[in-house]
Structure 1
Amino acid sequence: MKKNMGTADKVIRIIIAAILGTLYLTGIITGTLGIVLLILAGVFVLTSFISFCPLYAPFGISTCPLKEK
């Protein structure tokens, strides 16, 4: 797996995951929607840690900065 996520993308995903987790734990979002959003938050955290988003790959999207040689 080639990294395709830059720092800004990872930070944004972690912030969104933290917000979704907080909303679920405080009871603001509940039920099926809450569970689905909690799973999405987990996916955001996982993809941030591995710096790879499987949905970016088929479209050739990369938010990594270009490294000059």
Structure 2
Amino acid sequence: MKKNMGSLDRGIRVILAAVFVILYYNNIVTGVLGYVLLAFATIFLLTSVISFCPLYPLLGINTCKTK
């Protein structure tokens, strides 16, 4: 897998994941929507760690500046 995520993209995903987790654990978002947000948070963190988003090649997006 080639890296296709830049540092700004990774940072935004980590921040969004943190916001989703905070919303869930403070009972602001509950039920099915809460579980969906937790799933998205997990996906965002995982893709940030490996610097690869599987949707980007399908959409022709590459935010990584290194070749």
CA distance in 1, matches of 2:13, 2:3: 15
Partner residue, 1:57: 57
Q: Which structure 2 segments of 5+ residues have no match?
A: none
Partner residue, 1:48: 48
More helix as a share of residues = 2
The residue identity in structure 1 corresponding to 2:55 is L
Partner residue, 1:18: 18
Partner residue, 2:30: 30
Query: Structure 1, residues 25-52: CA drift from partner, whole Å, max 9, x if none?
Result: 0000000000001100100000000000
Q: After the TM superposition, which parts of structure 1 deviate over 4 Å for at least 4 consecutive aligned residues?
A: none
Q: Which moved more, 1:56-65 or 1:38-47?
A: 56-65
CA distance in 1, matches of 2:66, 2:60: 14
TM-score (norm 1): 0.92
- Structure showing greater Rg: 1
The CA RMSD over aligned residues, in Å, is 0.9
